[in-house]
Amino acid sequence: MKLVNEYQHKKVLVLGLAKSGVSAASLLHKLGAFVTVNDYKPLEENTQAQGLLEQGIKVICGSHPIELLDEGFELIVKNPGIPYTNPLVAGAIAKGIPIITEIELAYKIAESEIVGITGTNGKTTTTTLIYKIFEADRNLDPLIAGNIGTVASEVAQKARPDQQMIVELSSFQLMGVETFRPHIAIITNIYEAHLDYHGTKQAYAKAKSNITRNQLESDYLILNHTQPELWDLVSFTKAKIIPFSTKEYLQDGCSVKDGVITWKGEKIISRSEIMLPGDHNLENILAAVAASKLMGAGNEAIREVLTTFKGVKHRTQYIGEINGRKFYNDSKATNILACESALKAFHQPVILLAGGLDRGNGFDELIPSLKYVKALITFGETAPKLESTAKKAGIETIKRVENVEKAVLPAYELSEPGDVVLLSPACASWDQYKSFEIRGDIFIDAVHKLR
């Protein structure tokens, strides 16, 4: 890693732990900063804070005391999940103390080139595809980091100049960058999201645009051509824009022509050979192919991955087939938009499993996407609302069960050979499960038991 000296002897507050805070605190300590860690979780319950204490790092736990701002900190490294409305954060802004996230630290020390991926939907699938294609190419040596796995500032410490860091980035992380500059940046799409954090869609989109804020003419920005508003959002960029589109043939980017994925006119692979279903995944594939070609990956590596990759876990993940019924786990569909995308991937009869946390919204937006759904099985707080929507859509077979596990057997019994059984809840999991991952794992286990 680059041994930068700009943090040496600097008083730095690391606000909030989790994985990113632990990595940032340890790294800054190595770089000679005077580090104080502040986490809301009490010390006696906080094994991460205890570990930092053993390294000789000052730790304050149990609250976020506003008095910390009187200690003369020159920099704050904030956990992305802590909002800027937090009194300590707001006080720091008022005092003019710079606030960054650990992604900025990762960039400062990384010797490798960085490929950064952001957007509302498709980040994880796109990130994974790029990593797997790079991995399959003998001339590339990728590392994967960010929201998808290991913290970027930890991976960056090991990255060599001949490697490539593939980093998934959230809007929360991108709000805290100053000099961060990926060689290749990708914005998969922008839809309304995280308004509880950002306040408005405009503020959310602006945070996403920070991925290209510091790019130069020698860098690349891969952009969704089907969202013209994205082009206005990044009108300031100096990077060379590379468009991708599922709807229009692009001579200067990545698109589909006559059922074949093309890169600047070059035929790469027939869509019929690709394992991942759905137009939403096709967008992710086009973005990944563009990044791979820009980094010099060969067509053989691209084809190898696209003909075998079945999807990221919990994201329209193919589980297997039982007596002609195909089972898919899309537990990551925690909102209506994600459920719509999953439903659009299938053009055969679907048994839909849906339900979860009630956030106050209705589900009638789903009606146009329910045309292939022949039966609905509901669970969780939103079961009555989803059932009402299904009746409006003309779905006659509706069954309510206690939870995801108990939905699998009736879904099988209601299905026939050739049907799809799809878990795509359209809701968060927190009414019954701690995470969408746990919900998805329970579904997978239930399918395997059904065998």
**Using one digit for the tens of pLDDT, what is the confidence trace for 416-433?**
999 999 999 999 999 999
CA–CA separation, 442 and 437 (whole Å): 9
pTM of the model: 0.84
Least Cα distance to 127 among 81, 79, 184 occurs for: 184
DSSP 51-109: HHHHTT-EEEESS--GGGGGG--SEEEE-TTS-TTSHHHHHHHHHT--EE-HHHHHHHH
Reduce the DSSP state of residue 127 to 3 states and report it: helix
Reduce the DSSP state of residue 407 to 3 states and report it: helix
CA–CA separation, 343 and 316 (whole Å): 10
Q: Answer yes or no: same fold for 103-306 and 317-450.
A: no
Reduce the DSSP state of residue 397 to 3 states and report it: strand
First CA to last CA distance, the chain = 49
For the residues 245-268, what does the mean pLDDT come to?
97
Helix (H) or strand (E) run with residue 11 in it = strand 11-15
pLDDT of residue 319: 92
**Using one digit for the tens of pLDDT, what is the confidence trace for 103-123?**
999 999 999 999 999 999 889
pLDDT over 90 at 147, yes or no: no
pLDDT over 80 at 176, yes or no: yes
**CATH number, domain 103-306, options 3.40.50.2000, 3.30.2090.10, 3.40.1190.10, 3.40.50.1370:** 3.40.1190.10
Token couple for 10:
């600097």
DSSP 231-280: HHHTTT--SEEEEEESSS--TTSEEEETTEEEETTEEEEEGGG--S-SHH
pLDDT of residue 193: 78
CA–CA separation, 52 and 64 (whole Å): 18
Sheet containing strand 113-118, edge to edge, reads: 142-146, 164-168, 113-118, 184-187, 220-224, 240-245, 254-257, 260-263, 266-270
**Using one digit for the tens of pLDDT, what is the confidence trace for 346-367?**
999 999 999 999 988 999 999 9
Rg (CA), the chain: 23
Domain map (residue ranges) of the chain: 11-100, 103-306, 317-450
pLDDT of residue 75: 98
Class of domain 317-450: alpha beta
CATH architecture of 11-100: 3-Layer(aba) Sandwich (3.40)
Pairing between β-strand 220-224 and β-strand 420-423 as defined by DSSP bridges: unpaired
pLDDT of residue 149: 76
pLDDT over 80 at 185, yes or no: yes
Phi-psi sector, 360: left (phi>0), alpha (psi -120 to 50), beta: left
For the residues 27-33, what does the mean pLDDT come to?
97
